[in-house]
């Protein structure tokens, strides 16, 4: 009985953690989903963004006390503007998706929403982590050795 309980707790913790992509696995996935060169943003820049926003983790979340919004998923897409979490005041939901869709191991919807975000006038500069960690930096190392 005790072993069954431990196994159940282990499985639950794996389910809550979500998928943490390996670097090259994510690079191949983003390329397959059409992000390489999308709106002029290189795959290496998308990889740098994902590294610093979520450390390649699909279940990453971050609550923002100032506007009571939350950032969701591998790209840390914000509930104030891009998705609906049912609790963010004055949410816009420009991607027309529930924020929970951004936490799935299948990142197809997260990529579609990221494409929507980068299509706005701010482009990739909408992401603070990209501005702070990737902008004007050599980001080739994020895809080095991945054969993409």
Rounded Cα gap, residues 99 and 103, in angstroms: 7
Catalytic-residue membership of 22: no
Choosing from 71, 105, 106, 120, the catalytic residue is 71
DSSP code per residue over the chain? -HHHHHHHHHHHHHHHH--B--HHHHHHHHHHTT-TTGGG--HHHHHHHHHHHHTTBTT-EEEETTTTEEEETTTTEETTTT-B-S-STT---TT-SBGGGGGSSS-HHHHHHHHHHHTSTTGGGG-HHHHHHTTTS--GGGTTTS--
- What are the φ/ψ torsions at residue 71 (nearest 5 degrees)? -95, 135
Choosing from 22, 36, 53, 138, the catalytic residue is 53
Q: Which residue has the tokens 């050795």?
A: 145
Catalytic-residue membership of 71: yes
Active-site residue numbers?
53, 71
């Amino acid at each position: 009985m005790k072993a069954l309980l431990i196994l159940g707790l282990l499985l639950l913790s794996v389910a809550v953690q979500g998928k943490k992509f390996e670097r090259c696995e994510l690079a191949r996935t983003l390329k397959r989903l059409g992000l390489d060169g999308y709106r002029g943003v290189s795959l290496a820049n998308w990889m740098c963004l994902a590294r610093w926003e979520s450390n390649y983790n699909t279940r990453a979340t971050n609550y923002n006390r100032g506007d009571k919004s939350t950032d969701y998923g591998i790209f840390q897409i914000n509930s104030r503007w891009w998705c609906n979490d049912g609790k963010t005041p004055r949410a816009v939901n420009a991607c027309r998706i529930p924020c929970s869709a951004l936490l799935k191991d299948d990142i197809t919807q997260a990529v579609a929403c990221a494409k929507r975000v980068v299509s706005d006038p701010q482009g990739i500069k909408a992401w603070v982590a990209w501005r702070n960690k990737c902008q004007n930096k050599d980001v080739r190392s994020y895809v080095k050795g991945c054969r993409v």
